[in-house]
Amino acid sequence: MAKRGRPQWKPTAAIRRTVEEMRSCGESEATIARSLGVDADTLRKHCADELDNGFSHRRREVIGLLYKSARGGNVTAQKRLEEMTRLAGAAAEFDDKQKQAGPTAPQPVATRSPKRGKKEVQREDAFHAGTNSEWGEDLAPIPGTKPN
């Protein structure tokens, strides 16, 4: 007796590469699955490694191409590699210092005051017009009124 239903989806090497590429560019699992015409659960079942490690695999490939280009004399690639190396070194030094310092209390997050609009700035300026000048009291708003 023949099996009923649709045959099981099997990703090819090209599909796996596409999943890695899309994942490395930040696409969601749902978007990748939709583009391939499969359910997200099916995609996770058959391409779990590509979904989990797609970014790191493609990053490795890009860095390899960057090194190859830099060795070939591409000055832009050389500068980009130097910048990446410098930033990675600074991050490693920071991590080492953090490990040596031990656990620290969480630092409070600095919050900015909301940006004021043009009318709010003008109104504030009107309230303080003449302060510390020879106009002094002449420009001060009359108590109980709003300045123009």
Tens-binned pLDDT, residue by residue, of the chain (148 aa): 677 888 888 999 999 999 999 999 999 999 999 999 999 999 999 999 999 998 899 999 999 999 999 999 999 999 999 998 888 888 888 888 777 777 666 677 777 778 888 988 888 887 777 777 777 667 666 777 766 6
- The answer for residues whose C-beta is within 8 angstroms of residue 54's C-beta and 6 or more apart is 19, 20, 21, 22, 23, 24
pTM of the model: 0.53
Tokens of 112: 């900015």
Q: Are 49 and 19 in contact (CB under 8 A)?
A: no
Residue 148 is predicted with a pLDDT of 60
Report the C-alpha gap between 65 and 114 in whole angstroms. 44
- Per domain, the residue ranges of the chain are 13-101, 115-148
Cα 43 to chain centroid distance, Å, stands at 25
Q: How far apart are alpha carbons 76 and 70 in whole angstroms?
A: 8
Cα–Cα distances (Å) from 82 to 30, 75, 76, 87, 140, in that order, read: 37, 10, 10, 9, 59
DSSP-derived secondary structure for 10-34:
---HHHHHHHHHHHHTT--HHHHHH
User: Which DSSP state fits 7?
Assistant: P
